Chains A and B, each alone.
Chain A
Amino acid sequence: MTPSPELFAVAVLLFVGIAAYALFGGADFGGGIWDLLAGGDKRGAAPREAIEISVTPVWEGNHVWSIFVLVILWTAFPPAFAAIMTALFVPIALALLGIFCRGIGFAFRQEAQRLHMQRLNGALFAISSLMAPFFLGTVIGAVATAAVPAAPTGEILGAWTSTTALVTGGLFVTTCAYIGAIYLVVDSERRGDPAMARYFSHRALAAGVVTGVLAAVNLLLMQTSAPYVYSRLVGPALPLLVVSVVAGIAALVLVALRRSPHILRITASLAVAAVVAGWGWAQYPWLLPESMTLQQGAAPSASLWAELAVTGLAVLLVFPAFAWLYWLQQHGHLRHSETSETLRLATADGGEPPAVPASPAPVHREHNKVVATVLIATVATEFVRQLLQRRRRG
């Protein structure tokens, strides 16, 4: 029995959400990891600044992907959600603590004036950037190794402390570091900062190699610990795995040669997204391998349709907004206005306060660009909506 089209569509959405969280949220975690490894106050100042510029305006938006995944899981697959939350209470609580500290460290650091406060917050941000991906990784590892029963009666320590789950946690950390470094390379290139681009490309290379090794180790481990997922990974899901490996290697080559940042970003993202898709396809048709299939865990059809409708609404509302945010950020329209601290320094020196860049002229041109972006986004979303409607009618 194959699952109904709406069920399949929602399952796909779930994995799209996971992939998006890995790509966007993961990159932010990666920024935190490189922040941790940036060294002392002096040596680490430049990379830390680069990380901050790249991550600050978008981190809240990126982080909402995790809520998207959570919400789809609990509405569309409530019993699976309950089982995961109960069996993996400990790692999820710890990941949550990580997500929490990360947000706080970040919000606070923006405003912290004194150096020791900045250090404390930086440490908070960095350590939690390790915690969140690691424990989320163990959760995925536990699910893949069929360690979550359909009706657990309490938390299960063994579920997430198996070797495979722990290695998956490590893999998540290095993946975040890898994707984060790649994005930072691209951002540094765009800002015209070759020194930082070189700095992060070395790190992207290292993280990429480590990620590849860990992924290979994980695959070997899964041969015995997750036989079902393994058999499908080297079976029907093999093309996705190959895509991921090829894209990953291509990205590493591009980093090493320091060529074409746009293709670099796409190949690296493809490598990560293909792994997520491969994992999903390898689990199919199980939601929790060997204990709950997609159908057994699914909500009634109306809830699934509601999730699809919500996603349609999200496409209509969120994507144009997101497009605008990214466009503004990439074109340098979003920046921290000077703090009063720098202004005061300027006046204390007896000089004039920094002049306000009063330039209405270029704004007009950008007006058109904004309108064009919104138009294109609207047409695209309308297209998707039509497709969905046709499917419903059909």
Chain B
Amino acid sequence: MTSYALVLADGDIPARSQMGASLGFHIIFACFGVAFPAVVLIAHWLGLRRGDAVALVLARRWSKVMAVIFAVGAVSGTVLSYELGLLWPGLMGRFGAAFGIPFSIEGIFFFVEAIFTAIYLYGWRGLSPWVHWWSGMPMVVAGLFGALSVVAANSWMNQPSGFVLTDGRITSVDPWAVIFNRATPYEVPHMILAAYMVTGFLVAGVYAVGMLRGRWDRYHRLGFLIPFSVGAIAAPIQVVVGDIAARMVAQHQPAKFAAMELVDRTGTHVTEWLGGIYWNGQVYFGVGIPSLDSILVGFSPNTRVIGWEDFPPELRAPLPNLIHLSFTGMVAIGTLLVVLGAWQGWVWWFHRRVPRTRWFLVPAALAGIGAVLAMELGWIVTEVGRQPWTVYGVLLTRDAVTPASGVPITLAVTIVIYLVLTAVCIVVPWEMGRRWRGAGDPRLVEDQATPYGPPAEHEEEVRS
């Protein structure tokens, strides 16, 4: 037991936990950075186009929430970029010349997004309506390109390319091949769609709770429908992209795929396990569908799927059960979200309204948490599945970790830090919401709603 504790405090586990915790939190804020501007601008566009005061109120309030989350995301992103160096000098020192390039590019887009967030947030009264709307557009574009660059860095760790290694040191680099490595084409859209799902469903969830409490005014309906539609449109596309991604992983990183699908021995007609725990060559508690895994990988039951016994034990992905259950969980939640979106789509198509039953509203309120959970599970699959490598096939994690001794302390501090950040992200918008609900005077709401003075006939809509 003591030796186990020693390993925990001494090896790469504290550094990995710290990185994992930081990334796990940051990715949620990052989702909002990528996708929230689009949601806000949709509401803003509706407001301007139709002279819809309610949509303008929503856009304006969301822009404030967006700014808070962006500020928090900026801080946590800074923490992360320092941590990369503090925790993984072996990675940065040896591969910074290649790995750093996508990060530099991300820096630009982050810069652009920071600048336009400030302009958009503080421009409600000073800019003319459409100039102001367009001043928000660079946030959306920068969010997409920023996500592309950062995820390209991660996909490079999974599929390193574009460099020549001589005596353990990089002697030549091809920046394009670094950024557009083999994993970029599927990792990037997968993450961007995840960001839109997380943001859409989380924001919609807030208004779903409002509707569960009987607030059925137009403000809540619109506040629910705009973000929920974003998530519901992204969800089915995500299923397709995710399917392609899994097939690519089977091809490029067979050890990871073997853990994802609990394949121990290489063979054909491989069983697909839904859930289940692997123990001594047996899968317990799982639902097995014969040959389905082979069919999913190669569209035929005769497809050979590589099992982890083809790899020496020290190069297999650790904790296959964790990876497999995370993978199953992500797929299950994603499927449920598609169903939920389809339900709303059906009701909207025929009745132009939000379903009023609790059977819809309770899952809709929880959909955002589900989307976050699915995304985190997906990252567990990607990152734990990459172990024991930091750079797949090139650099082992134990060679990348810092020799400094302070990591357990910074791990503890980091966890506290991120709990504080999360609290900020929940408490501040919560407080804002409370204040907004308190602002019952319609004149006041109307005044808030009219940064540029929309037509007066919508005033009673606000009140309803």
Contact = CB atoms under 8 A, between A and B. Distances in A.
Nearest to A90: B406
A313 B105 CA distance: 9
Interface residues of B, number: 83
B123 interface: yes
B428 A111 contact: yes
Contact of B85 (A85, A110, A325, A363): A85
Nearest to A114: B431
A79 B428 CA distance: 41
Interface stretch (B112-120, B267-275, B341-349, B356-364): B112-120
Nearest to A97: B413
Nearest to A155: B404
A236 interface: no
Contacts of A85: 85-86, 89, 92, 402
B371 to A, nearest CB: 24
Interface stretch (B126-134, B206-214, B283-291, B379-387): B126-134
A64 B75 CA distance: 10
How many interface residues does chain A have, given as a range? 35 or more
A302 interface: yes
B448 interface: yes
A39 interface: no
Interface in B64-90: 68, 70-72, 74-75, 77-79, 81-82, 84-86, 89-90
B89 A86 contact: yes
Contacts of B75: 99-100, 103-104, 107
B73 to A, nearest CB: 10
A310 B85 contact: no
Contacts of A99: 75, 78-79
Nearest to A124: B420
A35 interface: no
A83 B89 CA distance: 7
Interface string B139-182: 00000000000000000000000000000001111110000000
Q: Which 7 A-B pairs have the closest CB atoms?
A: A82-B93, A75-B100, A78-B96, A333-B126, A299-B97, A334-B122, A103-B75
5 contacts: A300-B173, A303-B170, A303-B173, A306-B104, A347-B441
Given A344-B438, A353-B444, 11 more contacts: A60-B70, A64-B111, A66-B78, A78-B93, A78-B95, A78-B170, A81-B93, A83-B93, A107-B71, A335-B126, A356-B451
Interface of B: 60, 68, 70-72, 74-75, 77-79, 81-82, 84-86, 89-90, 92-101, 103-105, 107-108, 110-112, 114-119, 122-128, 131, 138, 170-175, 402-406, 410, 413, 417, 420-421, 424, 428, 431-432, 435-436, 438-439, 441, 443-444, 447-448, 450-453
